[in-house]
Each structure stands twice: as C-alpha cells, then as structure tokens.
Structure 1
Amino acid sequence: MDTDLEHTMDESEPLTRGPTVRYRPRHLFIAVALLLLSLAFELYGLFITQYVYDSTAAKLFPNSTIFNDKHQSMCKVNKSSESFRERTIVQQTTAKWDMYKSIAEAVPAVITSSILGSISDRYGRRKALTVNLALTFLGMLFTTIGIKCSFNIYFFLLFAAIKNMAGGIYGAMCIGFAYVSDITESGTTRSLFITLFEASIGIGMTVSGLVSGYIIEQFGFFYTSLCSFLLLFIAVVVAVFLLPESLTSTVGFIHSTNVQSPINTAAVRNTEASGIDNRTNAPRRNTCTVICDTVKASFEFYFRSSEKRLAYIVCVSIFVSACFSRLGKERIEILYALNAPFCWSAVKIGHFTSISVASSMVVGIAAIKLLQRFFVEDTIAILSAISNASSCILESIAFNDPTLFLVPLLAIFGLLIIPMVRAILSKMTPPHKQGALFAGVAAVEICVSMTTNVVLKIIYINTVKTFRGTVFFVYASFSMLAIGLLIIYRCMKDEYKEEDIALT
C-alpha cells in the first residue's frame, strides 16, 4: 500500500468500500434533478446569447431595420453591403461578450468542481448537490432581475459567475456520476447507467430547444429567464425533499451524530483546544490543508506512480480532445445561424438545437445498449469521434438550410465518446475514489470549456468576414486527434486488467 497516498486520504476516508447502497427507484430522482437543471441551463444558454445579440444591435444600430427583417430580404452574403457590415459588427461584439462570459463562468467553477466531488465522498452526494443547485438558482434569480430592469450586458457576467460558484452544471454532473457509481457495480451496468444519465440531460436540452424559440418570440426574454428560474427552484425542492443519499452514512470533520463513534461536546472542545484529533491521535489539520489534500486526491491518478498511471493519462487526454471537439460549439452555432446566409429566427434556432441534441443525446445514446452487444467502450468512442468529425466538416461548408439541418444526422453518435471515456476511467478506479475521480474530470472539463470558448471564439471573430466555417474545421481536427489517442489506448490497454482495482 502506498503510504503517502494513505496519509493523503486519511481525512477523506470513504464512507463505504463498495457499492454503498442497493439501487432503489427513489434514486432515479437524481436524473430528475439533473434533467431540470439541464432544462434550465440549456434554456439560459439559448436565450442569453440572443438577448445580448439583440441588445447589442439596438445599442450600436438603433435606427437599423435589418435585425427585425422577418423575410430575410437583407440576409445575403454580399460583403460590401451595409447589412453584412452591421451583422458582422454585432456578431463580433456578441462573440466577445460570450467569450468573457465563458471565463466568468469557468473561473469559479474550476475552483469548486475540483473539490466538490471529493467533499461529496465525505459529506454525501445530496448535500453537495443541494449547494450546487442553490447557488445556480441564485445566479438565475439575478439574471431574471437584470433582464427585467434592462441592466448593462456586462452585469450579466457577474451573474454568470454566481451561477457557477458551486461548479454549475459541470459540478452537478460530477456529483451525479459519483452518485451513479455508488449504486451500480463496475462494468457494463455502470457504463449503461452513466450513458443513460447523460441521456436524461439530453432530454432536458432537447425540450429546451423545442420550446425556447416559441417562448422568446411569444413572451420575450424576461419570461424565458423566469422559466429557467422556476425550473431551478423545482430542482432544489427535488434534491432537498425527494432525493435519497447514495452513501450509507455521512461524516464530517467532527460529526457528533455518528452512532458508531459518538463524540460529546467536551471532547470536541478539547480537540479544538489541543489541536489533536482524539479519534486518530493525530494532529488536526487546518481547513486549508484539508482542501489542498482534497484537490490533490482529484488529480493523483495522473501523477502518483502506479501501474495504471499511463493509462489514466492517455484516457484523460482522450477526454480533453473529445471535449475540445464539442464544448462551446452550440453557442457558436447560434451566431453562425444568426448570420448570413441563414439569418434564422429564435424558433428555427431552437428547432435546430433540439434536433442536434435529440439526435446525439437521445437517439444516439438510446442505441448504446445495442452497440455494447458488439463493441467495447473504446471502439464505440472511435465510432463517435468519426461521427463528430464528419458532421463538423459538413457544417463548415453548409451553404443553405437543408445542408445545415443534415449536420445533426451525421453527428448522431458524436456525443458517445465522452460517456465512454468516463466509463473507462470509472472502471479503472476504486469505489471509494469515484467522487475524487469525477471531481478531477469535471475540473478538466471546465478548463477545456473555458479554453474552447475563448480560443475558438477568437478564431470565429477573425474569420467570420472571410470563411465563417473555419472554426468547425478546428472542431473536426480535435475529433481526429481523439481517434489517434484511442488507437494508442487500444494498443496499451491489455498491459493491465481493468477489473484489478487496488484499494489503496
């Protein structure tokens, strides 16, 4: 046993050593809570970009009529026309704002997500999820008020930061994946549950895409934001009152209600005064030290010397490439569709988004059980990367509505690579470190999301005048990189046994 690792983990001792509880129907409320969260997040993502686009257009070109043109009579790719110039300026300004928003969301999220999963290992999944949902709810409340009062668009950057203060949707997914790991055995069953979990999120995103355009056009941005706010309120209620804890017990730094090791008030005071933990006869570590150790636990898989270290590094590299090939793409697609030669309405953008999500996260994931009968996880991931690359190439050269609507059909398996790599990592990891693993993965995903949203939006801003599809070629290149890394993983995976889990 690795003594250094043992010392690192002594303050983060697992609540149980195996699957902590047997699956019960009430555990499905985790999917309900995350479905509601995904509904709210997708609705927010769809309306906020269009709200900023409209606000920017009204501010920069208050007398222009092209942004209210319902018949697309001015939607032509004539680079010398006034309408093309105005649309390009608004596109670039909105893309810059969206880039700043991505940074505002990612900075607090990456800090909290790196410790959230490990903390959920210690205090329980439900408590961690409730904190996450409550802060997201608070950020959406401020956003709704800001739209009602017509705040400056840069105030919404602060609201976005508050919304992601506890990790946002990435932090919630981190807890959700750890929750699924608690109630399932390692293997095909867990892979299926993780994939179905992603499908429930996909359903929420699909529904949001279907209804967002109609809500925006019929009721305006304020009521669309209000819908997101109400969905988050219901999600908080579900997490607090309906969701059971997936861990059999919860322990704190000092948990006075633990039946197996009761601690009276006097003992607590003596512990605090002496600086000694009476339960272990070891010096108590301060909060800062514990947090540092918690963060370390989330990333030790990739740095601690072990037989599986290289496999972890290759797998997380595949995950990074897969995230680079997808994250941030939807927001660029909104700007892409608002621009010539498409100039889509909010309803058509919503339909395209719902079709995209439904094809990859519902239809594609629904086929996972059939695919698992014939292929292992890494083969499915390669098929997914090919699907994603081909769809991005088509999107980059799309010239009319029909070609753009063909993109979701090619991307039908495009999302599967991400849950497949998560499942592979989960199978390689001991049960009591699942929360730490997914916390590290969530932090990586947030960093990639921030980088993607900054770098690729810069590419879009600087190529929208020349070849607007350049950014989608970049997305396709990351899918090709993921294919190469998956081939490397296939060559090396036989060197270790995935089922040989070291309980260190």
Structure 2
Amino acid sequence: MRMRGLYLVEPLVAVYAFASFLVYPLVQQYVYRRLWQELTNTTYSTSDNNSHCDPSNSTRSYHADVQKAASLFSLYSELFSMIPSLLATLILVAYSDQRGRKITIILPLIGSLVYTLSFLAVSFFELNVYLLILSSFVNGLFGGLGTFLGGCFAYIADLCEDGQQKTLRMAGVDMVIGLLSGVASLSTGYFLQAAGFNWPFFTSALFHCVNLLYAIFVLEETVKRPADDPLDSSPQPNALQRMACGVYHLFAGAGRRRNILLVLLLLIFNSFAFANIGGISMITLYELNPPLCWSEILIGYGSALTTTVFLTSFVGVVALSRCGVHNLVIVLMGILSMAVGMVLVAFTKTTLMMFLARLPMLLAIMPFPVLRSMMSKVVSKTEQGALFACVACLDSASSNAASAVFSSVYAATVTWNSGFCFLLAAGLCGIPLALLAALGLLGVDEAKEAIETEGLIPGEEPLSGNESIVPSTP
C-alpha cells in the first residue's frame, strides 16, 4: 500500500538552495586554483596573507592572467548552461499544465546531482577542468534552476485558492532560498579549510540525492491526469507541438485587457530583476577593491547581512498584506528600497557605511513574490505552468544579461568611478517605477480579471466592468 504523500514543496526548495550554494562559491575557487596551477606552473598558496590591495605583493602579476582565464571559463559555462536551460524551462514548465508539476522538479534535481557528481569526479581524480563546461551543458538540458523554481511556483499556485495565501507562500519560498543559500555560502569557507574540495562536493551530492528521493516518493502531484488520457496513443509530433505552444496559448486564448495586464506585470518583474541582480552582483568586487579592500571574513559578514533581506522582505510582505496595503504599493516600496540602497552603496568609502548601506535594501525582495502572485491570479488554473515557464525563462534571461552588462560596465568605469554601476542600477529602477505608474493609471484589477478568466471561453473577449455579474473582490 502506497503511503500518503505530502503537498509541501518548501522542503525541496530549502535543501536545493543549501546544496546548490554549498557548491557555487567553491566552483569559482576550485576553477581559479586549477587555472592558477596550469598557467603559472606553481602550486596555489592558501597561506599567503598579503592583501591583494598591497602594491608590493609579488603575485599580483599573475592575478590578471588567471582572472581573465577564470572569467572566460565562467562565461563559457554560463552560455553552455543558459541556452539549453531556457529551452527546457519553456517546454517543461508549460508541459506540466497537462502532465503534472513533478516533472519540472524531478528533472532539474537529476541535473543538479549529475552536475555536482561531475565536480566531485574532476576534483577527486584531477581530471581536465574543462570537462566541467560539459557538465554545465548537461545540467542545462535538465532545466536547471529556472525550471525547478518555475515548477515549484506553479505547484504552489495549484494549491492556493486565496490570493493572499498565494502571495505569502511565494514570499516564503523566496525567504527560504535566501536564508539557506546564505547559510551555505557562509559555511563553505570553513568546510573548504577543514576538509578540502572533495567533501563539500560529496555532501552537496548527498543532499541532492535525498531531495530527489523526496520528490519522487513523497511529494504528491497537484495536476491529476484523467484515466482516459490519450498520452500514449497520441502521435509524438502532436505532443511536442502541445508542449512548445503552451506559452503561445497563454496569450492567444485570452482577451486584450488581461494580456495588457500580464505583459505589464512581466515587464515590471523583469526590468526590476535586471536592475536588482545587476547591482547586487557587483557588490563583492566593489568590496574587494580600494578603498574598502575587505577580507574574506568581512565579505562573509556582508553576505550574511545581504541574506537577511530575504527574511525582512518576507516579514514586510506578511505585515503589509495583513494590513490591507495594496499590492502595487508593496511593489513600489520594494523598488524604492532597492534604489535608495544602491545610491548609498555607490558613495560608500568606509566599512561601517558599507554595512549601513544595506539597511535601506531590507525590503528589496518584496516585489518578486507579490508580482508572481498577481500574475498567477490573472490566469486560469490550467495555465499556471505556461505562466511560470514564461516568468522563469524571462527571469533567467534577464539575470544572465544583467550579470554580463554590469560586469562590462564595472570593468569600464572602475578606474574613474567604481560606484557608477550602482548608480546605474538605481537609475534603471525608474523603468519598473514608470511601468508601475502606467499599471496604476489603467486601473486594472487582477482580482476581477481572475474571476473573468476562470469563466472565459478560449477566444472570447472578457466582460467589461459593467457587464460582469460577479462583483470584484475588494
């Protein structure tokens, strides 16, 4: 007799975040050390206490070549992973509307397990380091982080009937990701110092394995397939066509008003993600360079303070939602929180001010769960997978583009103004603010649109406000 399953995806997200971020900081360090050995024909010294800011440091002449090789390695890994993962996310998460959410959770977990085991093999047997680029490609074929999070958010959307409950659970997922990734990132340095690279890689693989078993045998499916489902008898081209066209039907089968609302929400989400991720990704480099010249310990403390943003943003969403604050106002507060924090970081020159500059950003994550919930409420239950496939793909594309653009801007401006990229991030926050103002002027109510969407026949225009027989939710 099969045991009763659970409808809890949060444990999966927590273990995935911890296992992944236990490895991510080590990957850069491992590749850097291997490339150092190959390019300099010397052993990488871990006992060198000379500051990299010290002009008398004799190893500085090697750092430029190794950093260039390491950055190119990261670029190739990211490209080989991004392209297949975007396609896999678009297909798999949209496909989950008909065949279930668990496929979008299980496949990325398999990819992450293979990815981590490949690092363990390369480290343990000292194989060619460029084999890791191939493992990135394989991980991308299984969907990667975008597919996993898209599937998890679609899973939560299936379970939540109430809009406020949906917002709070999605905010909780963001908080879990932030806290567990922060704990993992802080522990990697001590783990590496005590046990080397092999044991952290093995530990991460073990966590992914446990996660995979939970997803397969414990997690219940939310999308139930009917008994007379024609999946096995339908031609393969038809099945592939249904998978590829999921996002197209998300917009083609809806009215103009809903599409305008959905497009505006997507643009706000991704324009803010571009500014947020681009600015945050440059903070560590800014801390390493003069005049701050932070040590690894200070960077760890700074990272720990950054992860508290996820917790405070979650508390902010809960408190403001229960106080009846409008969703658009919550999003506005989060965007302004990010913009003010970036401006302060741009002019920070001391360690104390660098810590204090993070305080205004304590609500900067609030827009993401609120916008996901708003988008989820304006589409029907059968379109949740297609929606979050679209969100995950655009989010992955904007994140990768932001890292590339801000890295280039930082490299071009660091000699004359190292804080320029943070001012750029603050300025780019004006785009989602303008789109948010346009959304507010349109006066479109996502709760009312959700009611109309559920009863809408594909291809039929939604009812206008005075024709609806169901009153809008306040």
TM-score, scaled relative to structure 1: 0.80
Tell me: CA distance 1:328–1:142, structure 2 relative to 1, closer, same or farther (3 Å): farther
Tell me: CA distance 1:464–1:307, structure 2 relative to 1, closer, same or farther (3 Å): same
Q: Does residue 43 of the first structure (1) align with residue 18 of the second (2)?
A: no
Question: What's the CA shift string for 1:307-343, capped at 9, x where partnerless?
Answer: 2111111111111112102336555444444444555
Counterpart contact for 1:113–1:171, Cα < 8 Å: yes
53, 66, 82: which is aligned to 1:75?
53
Tell me: CA distance 1:105–1:394, structure 2 relative to 1, closer, same or farther (3 Å): farther
Tell me: CA distance 1:294–1:478, structure 2 relative to 1, closer, same or farther (3 Å): farther
Counterpart contact for 1:105–1:164, Cα < 8 Å: yes
Tell me: CA distance 1:68–1:297, structure 2 relative to 1, closer, same or farther (3 Å): same
| Cross-structure match for 1:324 | 274
Separation in 2, partners of 1:150, 1:364? 43
Separation in 1, partners of 2:280, 2:70? 14
Tell me: CA distance 1:486–1:409, structure 2 relative to 1, closer, same or farther (3 Å): same
300, 303, 319: which is aligned to 1:353?
303
Tell me: CA distance 1:155–1:400, structure 2 relative to 1, closer, same or farther (3 Å): farther
Separation in 1, partners of 2:437, 2:121? 50
> 1:192 corresponds to which letter in structure 2?
L
Question: What's the CA shift string for 1:60-101, capped at 9, x where partnerless?
Answer: 4566999853253x524x6x9876665455444433332332
Tell me: CA distance 1:50–1:335, structure 2 relative to 1, closer, same or farther (3 Å): farther
Unaligned runs of 5+ in 2: 459-474
Q: Does residue 193 of the first structure (1) align with residue 169 of the second (2)?
A: yes
Separation in 2, partners of 1:487, 1:167? 35
User: Secondary structure of the residue that 1:399 maps to in structure 2?
Assistant: coil
Separation in 1, partners of 2:13, 2:167? 18
Q: Greater relative contact order: 1 or 2 (C-alpha under 8 angstroms, separation 6 or more)? A: 1
Counterpart contact for 1:301–1:312, Cα < 8 Å: no
| Cross-structure match for 1:217 | 193
Separation in 2, partners of 1:328, 1:102? 15
Question: What's the CA shift string for 1:365-417, capped at 9, x where partnerless?
Answer: 12311111142222111111111122222333333433333343222111111
Equivalences for residues 461-476 of structure 1 within 5 A: 461-476=411-426
Counterpart contact for 1:311–1:489, Cα < 8 Å: yes
Question: What's the CA shift string for 1:228-279, capped at 9, x where partnerless?
Answer: 22221111121122212223x225xxxxxx2xx388xxx97xx6xxxxxxxx
Tell me: CA distance 1:340–1:83, structure 2 relative to 1, closer, same or farther (3 Å): farther
| Cross-structure match for 1:392 | 342
Separation in 1, partners of 2:192, 2:84? 29
| Cross-structure match for 1:415 | 365
Q: Does residue 314 of the first structure (1) align with residue 289 of the second (2)?
A: no
Equivalences for residues 358-377 of structure 1 within 5 A: 359-372=308-321, 373-377=323-327
| Cross-structure match for 1:26 | 6
Q: Does residue 182 of the first structure (1) align with residue 163 of the second (2)?
A: no
| Cross-structure match for 1:13 | none
| Cross-structure match for 2:469 | none
Unaligned runs of 5+ in 1: 1-23, 252-257, 272-283
Equivalences for residues 145-294 of structure 1 within 5 A: 145-247=121-223, 249-250=224-225, 258=227, 261=228, 284=234, 286-294=235-243
> 1:117 corresponds to which letter in structure 2?
V
TM-score, scaled relative to structure 2: 0.85
| Cross-structure match for 2:439 | 489
Counterpart contact for 2:5–2:220, Cα < 8 Å: no
Tell me: CA distance 1:469–1:97, structure 2 relative to 1, closer, same or farther (3 Å): farther
Separation in 2, partners of 1:308, 1:189? 22
Separation in 2, partners of 1:431, 1:467? 49
Counterpart contact for 2:160–2:166, Cα < 8 Å: yes
| Cross-structure match for 1:274 | none
* Cα displacement (A) at 1:474: 2.9
> 1:500 corresponds to which letter in structure 2?
I
User: Secondary structure of the residue that 1:185 maps to in structure 2?
Assistant: coil
Question: What's the CA shift string for 1:117-172, capped at 9, x where partnerless?
Answer: 22222222223311221122111111221223334443322222222322212211
Separation in 2, partners of 1:56, 1:398? 33
* Cα displacement (A) at 1:173: 0.9
| Cross-structure match for 1:383 | 333
Counterpart contact for 2:84–2:143, Cα < 8 Å: yes
Instruction: Compare 439-448 and 487-496 and name the one that shifted more.
Output: 487-496
* Cα displacement (A) at 1:175: 0.8
| Cross-structure match for 2:354 | 404
| Cross-structure match for 2:449 | 498
Counterpart contact for 2:258–2:449, Cα < 8 Å: no
Tell me: CA distance 1:453–1:233, structure 2 relative to 1, closer, same or farther (3 Å): same
Counterpart contact for 1:49–1:331, Cα < 8 Å: no
* Cα displacement (A) at 1:36: 0.8
Separation in 1, partners of 2:229, 2:196? 56
* Cα displacement (A) at 1:437: 0.6
> 1:391 corresponds to which letter in structure 2?
G
Instruction: Compare 41-50 and 313-322 and name the one that shifted more.
Output: 41-50
C-alpha RMSD over aligned residues: 3.0
Separation in 2, partners of 1:500, 1:114? 26
Q: Does residue 428 of the first structure (1) align with residue 408 of the second (2)?
A: no
Counterpart contact for 1:299–1:437, Cα < 8 Å: no
Tell me: CA distance 1:361–1:351, structure 2 relative to 1, closer, same or farther (3 Å): same
Tell me: CA distance 1:227–1:106, structure 2 relative to 1, closer, same or farther (3 Å): same
Counterpart contact for 1:214–1:346, Cα < 8 Å: no
* Cα displacement (A) at 1:217: 2.4
| Cross-structure match for 2:463 | none
Counterpart contact for 2:306–2:358, Cα < 8 Å: yes
| Identical-residue share of aligned pairs (%) | 22
Separation in 2, partners of 1:315, 1:186? 19
* Cα displacement (A) at 1:346: 4.5
* Cα displacement (A) at 1:32: 0.5
> 1:229 corresponds to which letter in structure 2?
A
> 2:186 corresponds to which letter in structure 1?
L
Tell me: CA distance 1:100–1:351, structure 2 relative to 1, closer, same or farther (3 Å): farther
| Cross-structure match for 2:90 | 114
Tell me: CA distance 1:96–1:311, structure 2 relative to 1, closer, same or farther (3 Å): same
